[in-house]
Amino acid sequence: MTDALPTTEGKGLALSPGALAGLKVIDLTRVLGGPYCTMILSDHGAEVIKIEPPQGDEVRDWGPPFHEGDASYFIGVNRNKQSLALDLSKPEGRAVLLRLLEGADVLVENYKPGSMEKWGIGYHEVLSKRFPRLVHCRVSGFGGDGPLGGLPGYDAVIQAMAGLMSINGNDSTGPLRMGTPIVDLATGLYSCIGILMALQERQRSGLGQFLDMTLHDCGMALLHPQAANHFLNGKRPKATGNPHPNISPYSKYRTATCEIFVAVGNEPTFKRFCEFLGLPDLPKDPRFLTNALRVTNRAELDAILDERLAQEDGHALADRLLRSGVPAGPVLNVDETVAAAHTAHRQMVTELGWYRGLGTPIKMSRTPGGTRSAPPRFNEHGAAILAAHGFTEEQIAELAATGIVVDKRR
């Protein structure tokens, strides 16, 4: 039931069936982490059937802005999927789900731990026996056991509890939430990686397995290099703002026209940077002979660089620095970066009809992925999905009449 390649003109479209063509994914997730994971799979050819509860995925309401009633938050992570609205709180709905799982390779869900077991469709008790090749990925806040097992988790809460807020910001701001929902996105990425690992292992064993993915664990996995520093020196990491805690110069600097970020990671680059700025004696200064000394004497070095860089056109300077081998770039706003020439060249903005979104960053030579269809409307493919799984027109009509399949959000 995988959609054919799109024929409508657009940008960042899928030009092949994809590396995951033939993979069938049942997606019971809502909000962000799970949907982001399944969108990655769908970008690369997996058939993803998104099963929504009767009230729908709540992020359909997380706007403005909206397109025909669906919020940008939903639109941004649900392309290439088919939507079926199913009431799994009823036995008849769960019976439909079990029909859909026949022949499925992956099930992804983010219900509260224990929900699937309460409904009589837990992995270990039921699904693993009925569908031994199934890879079941559960995404939750904290997992199903332990001191916080079963408790709800949201991105910002995990940012706080996992220490991410404590290393973001600076002394004047205090702990600061990262502007992008980094924990949700990372959980989606780690879940996708875990699913592909399990599918690879299935090639050898013939068996699926259960993946226990949590926002808590994935959030903590992002604590580098702060956790590594703490394990070695025993000190509590501090928020350093833009400067890197372990490298200098590695920070944001103001120029005459804009702010730029310079990332100098080794001695040859520092020498090249100083020569480029007409400061050839700076690497010989006893305060700045090594990276460790430059970190210790960061304030003195930054004062020199601030004075020198303030005279420059930042956009032109950053471009010249980058082309000379010194990592540097202007600090752009979102509207500027999505309109940039290199963004277009890399097809990192994708378009299909009314739909615009961020393109897939995974570029493959033989099996390129990309956009195949716009994000689905609520239950847009319900009847077609059921028909493809052997339900008759009469059975489909009965499921709709009894509220098992839902046409309009409740």
Render pLDDT for 222-240 as a digit per residue (tens, 0 to 9).
Answer: 999 999 999 999 999 999 8
Do residue 32 and residue 151 come from a single domain? yes
Choose the final residue of a domain: 330, 363, 393: 330
Residues 243 and 251: beta-carbon distance below 8 Å: yes
Residue 229 lies in a domain: no
**What does the pLDDT read at residue 2?**
45
d(C-alpha 30, C-alpha 140), whole Å: 11
- What does the pLDDT average to over 86-97? 97
Residue 218 belongs to some domain of the structure: yes
In this prediction, residue 339 carries a pLDDT of: 96
Same-domain check for residues 53 and 174? yes
| 61 noted as active-site residue | no
pLDDT at 319 (0 to 100): 96
Same domain as 284, residue 178 = no
Q: What percent of the chain is modeled with pLDDT above 90?
A: 96
Last residue of a domain, one of 302, 330, 358: 330
Does the pLDDT at position 388 exceed 80? yes
Pairing of the two strands 81-85 and 47-52 = parallel
* Residues 284 and 389 grouped into a single domain: no
Flag whether 408 is in a domain: no
Number of other residues whose CB lies within 10 A of the CB of residue 236: 11
pLDDT at 102 over 90: yes
Counting other chains too, the contacts that 353-360 makes at CB distance below 8 Å and 24 or more residues apart are 353/8, 353/10, 354/67, 355/75, 355/79, 357/75, 357/76, 357/79, 358/76, 359/11, 359/12, 360/12, 360/40, 360/43, 360/44
Based on the fold, state whether residues 162 and 292 are members of the same structural domain: no
pLDDT band at 9 (very low <50, low <70, confident <90, very high): confident
Q: What sign for the dihedral angle of Cα 82, 362, 133, 203? A: positive
| Same-domain pairing of 302 and 358 | no
Asked whether residue 410 is assigned to any structural domain, the reply reads no
Query: Which residues, 6 or more positions from 259, have their beta carbon under 8 angstroms from its beta carbon?
Result: 252, 253, 314, 330, 331
Looking at every residue in the chain, the average pLDDT score rounds to: 95
pLDDT at 136 over 80: yes
The pLDDT tens digits for 240-297 are 898 999 999 999 999 999 999 999 999 999 999 999 999 999 999 999 999 999 999 9
Q: What does the block give as tokens for 367?
A: 């099996």
pLDDT above 70 covers what percent of the chain? 98
| Domain span including residue 297 | 250-254+259-330
Q: Do 80 and 217 share a structural domain?
A: yes
Residue 206 sits in the same domain as residue 266: no
Residue for token pair 């270990």: 124
The Cα-based distances of 306 to 246, 259, 275, 301 in angstroms read 20, 11, 16, 9
Q: Are 101 and 169 in the same domain?
A: yes
Whether residue 372 is found in the same domain as residue 272:
no
Reply yes or no on whether the pLDDT at 344 is more than 60.
yes
Q: What is the CATH number of the domain that holds 111?
A: 3.40.50.10540
**Is there a domain that residue 264 lies in?**
yes
Instruction: Please count the structural domains in the chain.
Output: 2
Question: How confident is the model at residue 1, as a pLDDT?
Answer: 46
The answer to whether 287 and 301 are in contact (CB under 8 A) is yes
**Which contacts of 149-158 are long-range, i.e. CB under 8 A and separated by 24 or more positions?**
149/113, 150/112, 150/113, 150/114, 152/112, 153/214, 153/215, 153/216, 154/215, 155/32, 155/181, 155/182, 155/183, 155/184, 155/215, 156/181, 158/183, 158/215, 158/216, 158/219
The average pLDDT across 114-124 equals 96
Is 407 a domain residue? no
239 within some domain:
no
Same domain, 49 and 145: yes
∠ CA 219-224-229, nearest 5°, is 130
Task: State mean pLDDT over 184-191.
Answer: 98
Of 57, 87, 155, 184, catalytic: 184
Name the token pair of 396.
């489909």
Residue with tokens 């092949």: 16
Beta bridge partners of 231: none
Out of 296, 330, 364, a domain closes at 330
> What pLDDT does residue 400 have?
97
The three-state DSSP-derived secondary structure of 357-370 is EECCCCCCCCCCCC
**CATH code, domain carrying 321:** 3.30.1540.10
pTM of the model: 0.93
Residues 271, 283: contact at Cβ < 8 Å?
yes
How far is residue 186 from each of residues 5, 181, 197, 212, 217, measured CA to CA in Å? 29, 9, 16, 15, 10
- Is 368 among the domain residues? yes
Residue with token string 């000379």: 324
Q: Please tell me whether residues 131 and 211 are part of one structural domain.
A: yes
pLDDT band for position 160 (cuts 50, 70, 90):
very high
* C-alpha to C-alpha distances, 77 to 42, 74, 127, 178, 310, nearest whole angstrom: 10, 6, 27, 19, 40
